[in-house]
Amino acid sequence: MVQNSRCSACGQLQKLKLTGIYARWYPYGSESIGYQLNLCDECVQSRLVPVLKATYNGEAENGTCPSCHESGLPRLEYTWLTLYARNEDAVRCTVAFCERCAERYRVQFTSYGKKLEDRARPQQASKPAYWQALGIDPRQAS
Nearest approach in angstroms of CB 123 to Zn ion is 29
Q: What is the DSSP string of 103-116?
A: HHHHHHHHHHSEEP
SS3 breakdown of the chain: % helix, strand, coil, rounded to 5?
35, 25, 45
Whose Cβ is closer to Zn ion: residue 15's or residue 139's?
Answer: 15
Whose Cβ is closer to Zn ion: residue 43's or residue 81's?
Answer: 43
Sign of dihedral through CA atoms 62, 59, 109, 20?
A: negative
Q: Which residues bind Zn ion (CB under 5 A)?
A: 7, 9-10, 40, 43, 65, 67-68, 98, 101
What span, in angstroms and rounded, lies between the C-alpha atoms of 131 and 142?
14
Nearest approach in angstroms of CB 42 to Zn ion is 5
Whose Cβ is closer to Zn ion: residue 55's or residue 67's?
Answer: 67
Q: Please say whether the beta carbons of 116 and 20 come within 8 A.
A: no
Nearest approach in angstroms of CB 100 to Zn ion is 5
Nearest approach in angstroms of CB 135 to Zn ion is 51
